[in-house]
Amino acid sequence: MAKLRTSLLSCCIFLLLSLPTQAAQWVDVGSAKYRFLFKTLTTASLAVPAELEVDDWLSPAYPKRLRIDYGIAVSAERLSGLFMDTIEANYGKDLLGQRAPIEAFVNAFEDVEKGDHYQLQWTGAELLLSLNRQPLHRLNNPQVAKMLLSVWMGEQPISLKQRSLLYAHWLAYQQQLASEG
């Protein structure tokens, strides 16, 4: 029995040591503030997989983690309305036939207070929405994930200036990778 326990413990330790660490997988490429007058409304930060060069930052094949820190309190209703207005501007009222999963995502929103943060993490297979590290919603649809992320990273985002700054940070990181490779 002792040999079996030792063998199982050795296998568990081996498996744990062979797993990649989260910290080693992601690189923070930059952040950008969304301001109105002198008040920071949100700060968006982008993290991407280390050493992975790609041409399209919205590609569903490209994992990414977007964190939105709030400098003000916002109701879930206000967030949902702003989100739906932006995504409909990008994809039309019919949302390319994807209204149901988009509304399920939006219905997971909760009120935020100053200092709270939402995080959207796309793994390449799943989009996870969290509020202050508490999971709220999971989605396994690459097309819908790309549509949802376009609210901050697409051609018609909530804030073009914030999106442009994030894109510039991402592009600089991609150029750094290319020069090192």
Per-domain residue ranges of the chain: 22-180
The top-level CATH class assigned to 22-180 is alpha beta
Indicate if the pLDDT at residue 165 is higher than 80.
yes
| CA atoms lying within 13 Å on the CB side of residue 13 | 6
Rounded Cα–Cα distance for residues 102 and 121 (Å): 16
Mean pLDDT of 104-129: 96
pLDDT at 67: 97
Q: Is the predicted pLDDT of residue 17 greater than 70, yes or no?
A: no
Query: Is residue 15 pLDDT above 90, yes or no?
Result: no
Per-residue pLDDT, averaged over 24-45, amounts to 89
Contact criterion met (CB below 8 Å) for 136 and 16:
no
pLDDT band, very low/low/confident/very high, at 59 (cuts 50, 70, 90):
confident
Quote helix, strand, coil % in the chain, to nearest 5.
45, 25, 30
Q: What is the pLDDT of residue 38?
A: 86
Task: Return the top range by mean pLDDT from 28-37, 45-54, 122-131.
Answer: 122-131
For the stretch 1-22, what's the b/e string if a residue is b when 16 or more beta carbons lie within 10 angstroms of its beta carbon?
Answer: eeeeeeeeeeeeeeeeeeeeee
